[in-house]
């Protein structure tokens, strides 16, 4: 094949024509089938040209870009790779295809990269940096330039790998930081600073939420703060994160023993691949034994034995079991230790019932925590808290409607509450006989109700049947020995039948229990006057209440301090600041203790009395009882003065 001579300037007519065609067709506007020197098409392995491809009328082979440049077979090009595309699939190869065919047939190709200027650069052009997201043409059967725009396949693995490596590095850094924070929390825990330890563990979990160690440590801090229900949840989460975490299993078992969940504790002991903790195992066995004995004692009504077994189970390790404290309250109630029963059920209510009373926990046939409400209702009604008792029984019935004891107690509480309400309405209407019958109806359903006995005693008092009133008060006091309303009613009834010694005795007990109660103080004073009068003693100088009386002269002082009862003498000086400061408190005591004689002596106006009593410092207080000095205090505090007065005034 002959070649034309090169044109001046080192170019040939064919190369000039090719360059002109390139200038006419811009790279971003070439029709399909034409060469686009800047389109970033990346092809996979392509078929090599055959002799039949040109003769069959199909589009001629096209050069394909490799490494950012288009390569041909001329000088300076790498191997040319062709694709064979049919004209029907190309959809408009047209004149562009013919031009390329002619050029190929002539074997004339430019001796360098294709560029719009037609001039060859001295160095290959460097492609501009591309964004991380590269859109390329998807593969298909159409001509060059056709297809869907998709994310570059070559970019995804690189980006994913980099992101994964970055995520791994960040995760490792967070884990290391979380471990440091956890260790700081451990130091606070060792020092007994559980709140601060808990705060640090929370911070560690914020950095690394899937740390089983942090969860277990957080449980330990919660135990130190007596938040056992939350501690159980943390242990369970630690085990979920790491089922083989033996320490979390052991801690959970220990918690379940304390909460009385013996069945759950037995499942946990020995899990996590560790040997069972011998101490915890012994605790579990002891709690199970005492719980079983309690159930047997309760079944036969041996309440003293039941109380003993409850106390033993609590001491053995179940010290946070709400059901056990409720059992203790029931036993105490049955042996008429109402105050202790009230304390026990209050303790049970303060415990975390949601954690200590799981839905599958049973005690003596009671489902879940219905037993707590059942016992609470019994204690409430014994103390006259009828509305609270009804509320508790409604909750118990809702939880455990199939329990015979619950349903029977619900009926009893409702009947007793209705009887008490009716009795109160009749009493306030002045229908004392009818009220007496109403209260009696309530006692048929709850024979150990001290409130109903006391209310019925009030009806008898109003009807003038004081002996019967005393009888009902005695019954109430058998059930609740420190029931002060029954004691006050009995003291008044004793006075009505002139049993003054018994009346004074009851009033003296009441004065100790209710030192500031004016009604009690007045009743005590009148009973004391009547008692001394019945014995023939002089009571003309006894008085009730009044102001602090100023004494002048030794004779008046001698007479005042020999009066029956208790007298308090305040030795004072008007210009002394301490005397002025304590004077208002003495006035208050005079009102609070009306049966006590309060006297004062001005040492500047009564030097004889001051010398006889050997008073050298003011304020000085002296207490006299029935003419005998029993106590002397120099510059006492308010608390000491009142406690000393209370000691002798009864």
Average pLDDT over residues 350-367: 61
**Using one digit for the tens of pLDDT, what is the confidence trace for 250-288?**
999 999 999 999 988 988 887 766 678 889 999 999 999
CA torsion, ordered 512, 516, 517, 523, to nearest 10 deg: 60
Residue 212 CA to residue 561 CA, distance in Å, equals 78
Residue 600 CA to residue 622 CA, distance in Å, equals 10
Residue ranges of the chain assigned to CATH 1.25.40.10 = 163-279, 462-540
Residue 417 CA to residue 86 CA, distance in Å, equals 100
Beta-bridge mates of residue 223: none
Average pLDDT over residues 524-531: 89
**DSSP per residue over 18-75, as a string?**
HHHHHHHS-GGGPPTTS--TT--------PPP-HHHHHTTPPPP---EETTEE--SST
Residue 8 CA to residue 11 CA, distance in Å, equals 6
Does position 538 have pLDDT exceeding 70, yes or no? yes
Q: What angle do CA 371, 372, 378 make, to 5 degrees?
A: 90
Average pLDDT over residues 610-619: 93
Does position 31 have pLDDT exceeding 80, yes or no? no
Residue 353 CA to residue 233 CA, distance in Å, equals 14
Does position 222 have pLDDT exceeding 50, yes or no? yes
Average pLDDT over residues 555-576: 90
- Backbone angles phi and psi of 91, in degrees to 5: 65, 50
Does position 80 have pLDDT exceeding 50, yes or no? no
Residue 290 CA to residue 288 CA, distance in Å, equals 6
Beta-bridge mates of residue 621: 570, 633
Task: Read off the pTM.
Answer: 0.59
Quick one: what percent of the chain has pLDDT higher than 90? 49
Whether the CB-CB separation of 201 and 182 falls below 8 Å is answered with: yes
Residue 643 CA to residue 501 CA, distance in Å, equals 25
Q: Please, which pLDDT band fits residue 76 given cuts at 50, 70 and 90?
A: very low
Does position 435 have pLDDT exceeding 80, yes or no? yes
Point out the least confidently predicted range of 162-166, 240-244, 528-532, 635-639: 162-166
DSSP secondary-structure letter at 272?
A: G
Residues whose CB is less than 8 angstroms from the CB of residue 145 and which lie 6 or more positions away in sequence, other chains included: 30, 31, 32, 33, 34, 36, 39, 137
Residue 476 CA to residue 478 CA, distance in Å, equals 5
Point out the least confidently predicted range of 3-7, 521-525, 536-540: 3-7
Residue 484 CA to residue 433 CA, distance in Å, equals 24
Whether the CB-CB separation of 509 and 522 falls below 8 Å is answered with: no
Beta-bridge mates of residue 625: 566, 628
Exposed e or buried b per residue across 284-294, where buried means at least 16 C-beta atoms within 10 angstroms of its C-beta? bebbbebbebb
Does position 500 have pLDDT exceeding 60, yes or no? yes
Residue 346 has what pLDDT?
A: 92
Residue 575 CA to residue 618 CA, distance in Å, equals 11
Output the CA–CA distances (angstroms, integers) from residue 118 to 7, 41, 44, in the order listed.
14, 22, 29
Residue ranges of the chain assigned to CATH 3.40.30.10 = 549-648
End-to-end alpha carbon distance in the chain: 144
Residue 361 has what pLDDT?
A: 56
Does position 138 have pLDDT exceeding 70, yes or no? no
Q: Which CATH class is domain 163-279?
A: mainly alpha
Residue 48 has what pLDDT?
A: 42
Residue 20 has what pLDDT?
A: 44
E-assigned strand segments in 75-148:
135-137
* CA dihedral sign of residues 307, 309, 312, 314: negative
Residue 519 has what pLDDT?
A: 86
Q: What is the CA radius of gyration of the chain?
A: 51
The domain made up of 549-648 is a member of CATH 3.40.30.10: yes
Residue count (the chain): 650
Residue 138 CA to residue 119 CA, distance in Å, equals 32
Q: Please, which pLDDT band fits residue 100 given cuts at 50, 70 and 90?
A: very low
3.40.50.150, 1.25.40.10, 3.40.50.11900, 3.40.50.970: CATH of 462-540? 1.25.40.10
Whether the CB-CB separation of 91 and 32 falls below 8 Å is answered with: yes
Does position 135 have pLDDT exceeding 90, yes or no? no
Whether the CB-CB separation of 445 and 416 falls below 8 Å is answered with: yes
């Amino acid at each position: 094949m002959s070649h034309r001579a090169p044109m001046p300037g080192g170019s040939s007519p064919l190369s000039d024509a090719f360059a002109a065609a390139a200038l006419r067709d811009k790279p971003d506007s070439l029709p399909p089938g034409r060469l686009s020197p800047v389109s970033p098409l990346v092809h996979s392995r392509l078929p090599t040209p055959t002799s039949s491809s040109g003769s069959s009328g199909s589009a001629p082979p096209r050069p394909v870009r490799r490494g950012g440049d288009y390569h041909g077979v001329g000088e300076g090009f790498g191997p040319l790779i062709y694709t064979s595309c049919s004209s029907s699939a190309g959809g408009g190869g047209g004149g562009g295809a013919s031009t390329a065919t002619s050029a190929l047939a002539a074997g004339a190709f430019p001796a360098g990269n294709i560029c719009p200027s037609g001039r060859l650069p001295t160095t290959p052009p460097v492609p501009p940096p591309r964004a991380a997201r590269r859109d390329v043409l998807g593969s298909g059967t159409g001509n060059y330039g056709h297809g869907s725009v998709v994310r570059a396949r070559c970019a995804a693995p690189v980006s994913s790998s980099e992101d994964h490596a970055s995520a791994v590095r960040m995760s490792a850094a967070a884990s290391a930081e979380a471990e440091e924070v956890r260790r700081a929390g451990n130091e606070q825990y060792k020092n007994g600073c559980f709140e601060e330890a808990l705060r640090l563990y929370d911070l560690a979990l914020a950095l690394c939420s899937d740390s089983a160690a942090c969860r277990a440590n957080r449980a330990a801090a919660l135990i130190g703060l007596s938040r056992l229900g939350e501690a159980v949840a943390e242990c369970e989460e630690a085990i979920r994160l790491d089922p083989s975490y033996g320490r979390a299993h052991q801690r959970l078992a220990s918690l379940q023993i304390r909460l009385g969940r013996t069945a759950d504790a037995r499942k946990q002991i020995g899990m996590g691949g560790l040997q069972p903790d011998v101490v915890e195992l012994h605790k579990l066995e002891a709690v199970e034994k005492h719980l079983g004995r309690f159930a047997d004692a309760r079944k036969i009504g041996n309440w003293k034995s039941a109380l003993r077994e409850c106390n033993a189970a609590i001491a053995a390790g179940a010290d946070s079991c709400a059901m056990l404290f409720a059992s203790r309250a029931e036993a105490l109630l049955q042996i008429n230790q109402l105050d202790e029963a009230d304390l026990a059920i209050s303790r049970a209510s303060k415990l975390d019932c949601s954690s200590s009373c799981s839905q599958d926990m049973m005690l003596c046939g009671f489902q879940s925590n219905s037993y707590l409400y059942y016992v609470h209702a019994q204690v409430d009604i014994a103390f006259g808290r009828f509305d609270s008792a009804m509320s508790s029984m409604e909750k118990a019935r809702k939880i455990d409607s199939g329990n015979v004891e619950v349903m029977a107690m619900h009926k009893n509480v409702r009947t007793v509450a209705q009887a008490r309400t009716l009795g109160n309405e009749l009493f306030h209407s002045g229908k004392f006989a009818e009220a007496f019958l109403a209260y009696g109806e309530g006692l048929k359903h709850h024979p150990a109700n001290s409130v109903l006995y006391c209310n019925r005693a009030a009806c008898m008092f109003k009807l003038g049947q004081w002996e019967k009133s005393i009888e009902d008060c005695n019954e109430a006091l058998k059930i609740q020995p420190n029931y002060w309303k029954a004691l006050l009613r009995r003291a008044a009834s004793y006075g009505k039948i002139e049993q003054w010694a018994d009346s004074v005795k009851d009033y003296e007990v009441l004065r100790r229990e209710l030192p500031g109660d004016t009604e009690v103080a007045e009743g005590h004073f009148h009973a004391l006057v009547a008692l001394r009068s019945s014995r023939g003693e002089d009571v003309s100088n006894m008085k009730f209440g009044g102001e602090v009386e100023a004494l002048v002269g030794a004779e008046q002082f001698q007479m005042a301090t020999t009066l029956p009862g208790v007298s308090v003498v305040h030795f004072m000086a008007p210009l002394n600041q301490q005397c002025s400061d304590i004077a208002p408190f003495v006035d208050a005591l005079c009102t609070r203790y009306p049966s006590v004689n309060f006297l004062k002596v001005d040492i500047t106006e009564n030097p004889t009395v001051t010398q006889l009593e050997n008073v050298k410092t003011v304020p000085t207080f002296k207490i006299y009882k029935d003419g005998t000095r029993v106590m002397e205090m120099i510059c006492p505090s308010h608390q000491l003065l009142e406690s000393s007065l209370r000691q002798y005034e009864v």
